[in-house]
Structure 1
Amino acid sequence: MLEAARGLFAERGFHNATVRDIAARANTNLASINYYFRSKDDLYREVLSHSFRKAVDADEFDDAPHDIGSREDRLKVFIRGLIPRSVEDGESDQHMRLLAWEMLSPTGALDHIEETEIKPHLERAKEIVRPFLASDASPMDLAAAALWLVGQCLIFRGLAERVRLGFMPVQTDADHAERLVALVTDLSLRGLVSKSL
């Protein structure tokens, strides 16, 4: 149901996708959607949350130890969770379309996602960059460095459709994803280490 809803919301936006159409695409009945999600609003919030967790590979972060390994190792694990494994399936494009619809025609669901998904993820990014910054770094510098790190990776998600169509010369398929992770990690280390000097 979530995948069917995600696809329709990405194609049509919240206001133009009906629960009836979602039930048809999911090969289920309308009652089961109402039973599990209670309302279209609740379903949409769950779709956005699910999409965000897929987009940032939340399992990669949840499974990674927070307190072992070097700061460089933790940085690489963080980056690996943000770099798309492949653009062939259109996952990144679908997620970006969901966010674009929400920006164009806000429903308020993003407020919920900010609290439940985005803020915890940014807190994790702060944990990752903190060891690279001066001990007296201001909260603003810490937040800016965390956002910078996330941005270094999300650019590959934002351009995923362009890459898939062959307009961008960056390959992010499964064969090249780890090389891209290594490159972004190396560049990020150079930026973070020079900031700490």
Structure 2
Amino acid sequence: MAKYLGATKLAIPSAGNAGGALAAYAARARLEAHIFMPRDTPRANVTECCELGAHVTLIDGLITDCGAEIARRKTEEGWFDMSTLKEPYRIEGKKTLGYELAGQCQWQLPDVILYPTGGGTGLIGMWKAFDEMEKLGWIGNKRPRMFAVQATGCAPIVRAFEAGEKTAAEFPNARTIASGLRVPKAIGDFLMLNILRQSN
């Protein structure tokens, strides 16, 4: 879609797989990829992006700091910002999780879905898919109970859910060895919290 829309330079913050995926797709489409990663991102993720031809910038800080750097420079640099929920296409892609799950379960959704949650696009995408499938008449209105799984060292959504909050405060001193889940402040926090409550 980025190429179709005329974008030539893409930028994304990543501490895990999103950077590698963007680097691969950008290379295939002959687009520039600029990946901003926390300095302590696992070496394998950094190397993957570099080997695929992406311009990798390591930032002292967390993924939120990487996103802030992109936001600060994107207009001047001419980057198409691929950050979570800054463009609609990742949610559309993540919907396939819901469609594949329903299809593999003969259109009977499971009772519970435990979802490792950083930025939350998978959780949001699945919920959107379930709504679409119901409108199409493929499934009924019964939904799985959705659970956002987060590390104790970075659990802003879990903390906000347990406190009954509508949004999540930034999680201080975020730390976890699951680098892709170390998202101290998710842009879609209110969407995830709403989904978790609707599903319970």
TM-score with structure 2 setting the length: 0.28
- Which protein is richer in helix relative to its size? 1
Compare CA radii of gyration and give the structure with the larger one.
1
